[in-house]
Structure 1
Amino acid sequence: MGENDDKLNLVIPKDCNNAPRKQIVLDFILAVLMGQTASIQSYTSDSIQWHQINQNKVVNGQDELIKWVLNEKKHVIGLEIYQVITHGKLASVNGAITLSKGDYIEFCYVLTFSNAAKSAKIIDVKSYEI
């Protein structure tokens, strides 16, 4: 994951291991938070769009997403996942991120995959953070 993996406090609900898509969602979120560009590329389509609702911003395409992730990378020390919900080509995850500076961010990410297959790529993300 990165240089701070041993310091990341990760709390995940026990039911997150009963559906393959849930693990993909969790792995993708961790890749974004930890700046793991190869993993991000493996989970996303080239034309992904990430809508950052609070900032009224859209990141277009995989290259722009990678740049954004690397530029905005936060020093995450904690991640608590409240729920991961998947159905067909849709998924959502909500929880809280704790940063090393003590900041606490509640979030919800709504993901759309290209289709319902386990190998489908993420084509759209809408993120809400407070």
Structure 2
Amino acid sequence: MHITVPKDCDNAPKRRLIRDFNLAYAHADLEKLLPYFHQDIYWEMVGDQKIIGKDAVIAFLGTVSFNKADSIEIETIISHGKFASAMGKISYGTNTIAFNDTYEFTSAGSGILKKIYSFAIPL
């Protein structure tokens, strides 16, 4: 897999966490993703669907074509307090998707995701 990520993530714990979360997603590694989700996670794929609860997220990831990506490019990761955002592109074969995800953690010091809003545009 080809991976491109911002080089300065190691100086900010939340940015590093979001980088690692996105890399686990790109690798289709459900075991690495699970610890990030709060039991009552709310994940909205804007314009598509809303998933509520960790069990529902696990079921969703089990039913979609949750495959290992061929490449991921994370262009920007921003974090402040209990919020973070990541923007980039992920490719599966000839399909590339531009994404922008906004994350809310349970608190500023937490690594547990409470809400995710995902915007995805096929290119």
**Offset of 1:66 from its aligned partner?**
1.3
Letter in structure 2 aligned against 1:43? Y
Mapped to 2, the partners of 1:69 and 1:32 lie a distance apart of: 10
- Quote the Cα distance in structure 1 between the aligned partners of 2:23 and 2:5: 12
Indicate the residue corresponding to 1:44 in structure 2.
37
**Match status 1:74 vs 2:94:** no
- Coordinate RMSD, CA, aligned: 1.3
Letter in 2 for 1:110: T
1:125 aligns with one of 110, 116, 119: 116
The structure-2 alpha-carbon separation of the partners of 1:64 and 1:34, relative to structure 1 and needing over 3 Å to count, comes to: farther
Gaps in structure 2 of 5+ consecutive residues:
none
Deviation at 1:40, TM superposition (A): 1.8
Contact kept? 1:109, 1:126, Cα under 8 Å = yes
Partners of 1:76 and 1:120 in 2: how far apart?
Answer: 24
Structure 2 partner of 1:59: 51
Q: Give the equivalent residue in structure 1 for 2:90.
A: 97
For these two proteins, the number of residue pairs brought into alignment is 120
In structure 1, how many angstroms separate the alpha carbons of the residues matched to 2:57 and 2:27?
14
Residues 32, 69 of structure 1: 8 Å contact kept: no
| SS of match in other structure, 2:9 | helix
What stretches of structure 1 of length at least 5 have no aligned partner?
A: 1-7
Query: Counterparts of 1:74 and 1:80 in 2: how far apart (Å)?
Result: 16
Q: Deviations over 1:1-45 (max 9, x none)?
A: xxxxxxx10001212221011111111122233332222221110
Identity of aligned residues (%): 28
Which segments of structure 1 move beyond 4 Å, counting only runs of 4 or more?
A: none
Match of 2:100 in 1: 108
Please tell me the residue identity of whatever aligns with 2:52: N
Partner of 2:63, secondary structure, is helix
Q: How far apart, in 2, do the equivalents of 1:71 and 1:27 lie?
A: 23
Q: Deviations over 1:75-115 (max 9, x none)?
A: 41000011000000000000001112x11100000000000
